[in-house]
Amino acid sequence: MKKLRYLLSSLALVGMCTQQLNAQVSLPWTEDFEATSTSAQQWDLTNLVSPPDVIVAIDNQQSGYGEGERSLMYNFYSPMFFTVFDAKTPIINNPDRSGLKVSFDFAAAVRYTMPVALQSNFAVDFLYLFASKDSGTTWSLIDTFRIDTNGILNTYGCYGAPFVCGASPNMHFIPNDTQWTTITNIKLPRGTNRLNFRGTRTNTYESNWAYMDNVKVDTCYTEKPTGDTLQYDASYTTVLDLQVTGTDLTWYSDADAMNEILTSTVLVNETYYYVTQTVNGCESAPKTILFKAPTNIKANSGIFKDVKIYPNPAHGSIIIDAAMPVQNISIQDITGKTVMQIKQNTKQIDISSLKAGTYFLTLRNGYATGTFKFAKF
């Protein structure tokens, strides 16, 4: 086993990490943590290098199935009372807001918990993968990996516990080039532009060392769902009524696919809606659909301009004062969820079963649509 040594002083590493946080990397991107890697200096490890022995780069040993000499180390053994170890990538330049996939190599072993009398108990460490679409302002949990005795990231087993594991060269696990596993092709949400590989330990000290190497990020591609770009039907009430063919559809209110909406969202004339499909974990770019009435028909047209809804606020029932028959009536809550659907002409609607709050009453007659706001108390 080659000798382990610190490549950089803690102060130099802190400086490198804090100076480069706004830098970006381009796709496809591979991080091998080698001395020749400029992006290795752009990781946000500020939570990990204070105190300085929490995480370090390593040198002069095989890593990541023998690819190079350096990797990133999570020092779960640190005597300092820290349990969360963040390792955030540089910002990933993803201008098309594509779906991404990530792979990485990992090596770890478990160690007994302290004190010696409890050496049959082993630490349960974790690696959490988070993704961000806004360069790290908010994060979503993508996957969780265990590093306990049966964990998928435990590549060696028990180490450093001579009374339980047998003799060990030292207390700290240092992998050779065969003691790694590869986690492949984890699909990331469309628009992802930063990752956080968060290590955690369940006890405050005396876990073992763990290592990550060869982080690879690339785009994944899925065809857009199919359907007419321009759609309208008088009977369509919610997004779910729009005619789209695809797998695991997700609807959005914006072209960047940032703001997901419910399929029960009430359709509004002359409004764009955006839908993606996800196949084998890879989300497509959004297909654009315009919900718009024909130009010779006015949605929310004059036939509804004199309609009155009363009482408002209401408690037991509301009255629809309309001169013409109404073919379709629906009520939506403020989230867009349809809570009542009536497909017959009626002038009075029992709302006693609704919770107190704000609602929208939608009336349809042929191509004409009218929406009215009321409150239930």
Q: Give the CATH number of the domain where residue 371 resides.
A: 2.60.40.3080
Which residues span the domain enclosing 131?
5-220
From residue 311, give the alpha-carbon distance in Å to each of 314, 324, 377: 5, 20, 11
329 alpha-carbon distance from chain centroid: 37
Beta strand 91-93 with 24-26: parallel, antiparallel or unpaired?
parallel
Instruction: Check whether residue 333 and residue 205 sit in a common domain.
Output: no
Instruction: Check whether residue 312 and residue 283 sit in a common domain.
Output: no
Instruction: Check whether residue 47 and residue 195 sit in a common domain.
Output: yes
Q: What is the DSSP string of 146-215?
A: E-STT-TT-SS-B-S-TTTT---SSSS----TTS-EEEEEEEE-TT--EEEEEEEESSSS---EEEEEEE
φ, ψ of residue 369 to 5 degrees: the values are -135, 140
Instruction: Check whether residue 284 and residue 148 sit in a common domain.
Output: no
Alpha helices in the chain (DSSP H): 10-19
Give the C-alpha separation, 147 to 154, whole Å. Answer: 5
Give the C-alpha separation, 122 to 203, whole Å. Answer: 10
Instruction: Give the per-residue pLDDT at 75.
Output: 78
Instruction: Check whether residue 266 and residue 317 sit in a common domain.
Output: no
* 296: in domain: no
Domain boundary among 220, 238, 269: 220
Instruction: Check whether residue 123 and residue 172 sit in a common domain.
Output: yes
Q: What is the DSSP letter of 84?
A: E
How many distinct structural domains can be found in the chain?
A: 3
Domain boundary among 177, 196, 220: 220
* 107: in domain: yes
Quick check: pTM over 0.75?
no
Domain boundary among 181, 197, 220: 220
Sheet-wide strand order for 348-350: 308-310, 317-321, 348-350
Give the C-alpha separation, 240 to 245, whole Å. Answer: 12
Instruction: Check whether residue 214 and residue 234 sit in a common domain.
Output: no
φ, ψ of residue 12 to 5 degrees: the values are -65, -40
Instruction: Check whether residue 322 and residue 362 sit in a common domain.
Output: yes
- CA–CA–CA angle 115, 117, 120 (5° rounding): 95
* 297: in domain: no
Q: Which residues pair with 145 in a beta bridge?
A: 127
DSSP, collapsed to helix, strand or coil, labels residue 239 as helix
For the domain that residue 150 is a member of, what is the CATH number? Answer: 2.60.120.260
Task: From first to last of the 377 residues of the chain, give the pLDDT tens digit.
Answer: 332 333 333 323 333 444 455 679 999 999 988 878 889 889 988 655 444 343 444 444 556 666 777 888 887 776 566 678 889 999 999 988 888 999 999 998 887 655 555 555 677 789 999 999 999 999 999 999 998 878 899 988 877 655 566 555 566 788 888 889 999 989 898 899 999 999 888 765 567 778 999 999 999 888 999 998 888 877 788 999 999 999 999 999 988 888 899 999 999 888 999 999 998 878 888 999 999 876 544 444 556 777 888 999 999 999 988 877 777 888 888 666 788 988 888 889 999 999 988 888 888 876 677 788 888 98
Cis-peptide, bond into residue 162, ω within 30° of zero: no
Q: Which residues, including other chains, have CB under 8 Å from residue 124's CB and lie 6 or more apart? A: 146, 147, 148, 151, 202
Instruction: Check whether residue 245 and residue 125 sit in a common domain.
Output: no
Instruction: Check whether residue 85 and residue 144 sit in a common domain.
Output: yes
DSSP, collapsed to helix, strand or coil, labels residue 364 as strand
Instruction: Check whether residue 85 and residue 157 sit in a common domain.
Output: yes
For the four alpha carbons of 189, 147, 74 and 117, in that order, the dihedral sign comes to: positive
Instruction: Check whether residue 173 and residue 216 sit in a common domain.
Output: yes
Q: Is 41 exposed, middle or buried (0-12, 13-18, 19+ CB in 10 A)?
A: middle
Give the C-alpha separation, 190 to 170, whole Å. Answer: 44
Q: Is 179 exposed, middle or buried (0-12, 13-18, 19+ CB in 10 A)?
A: middle
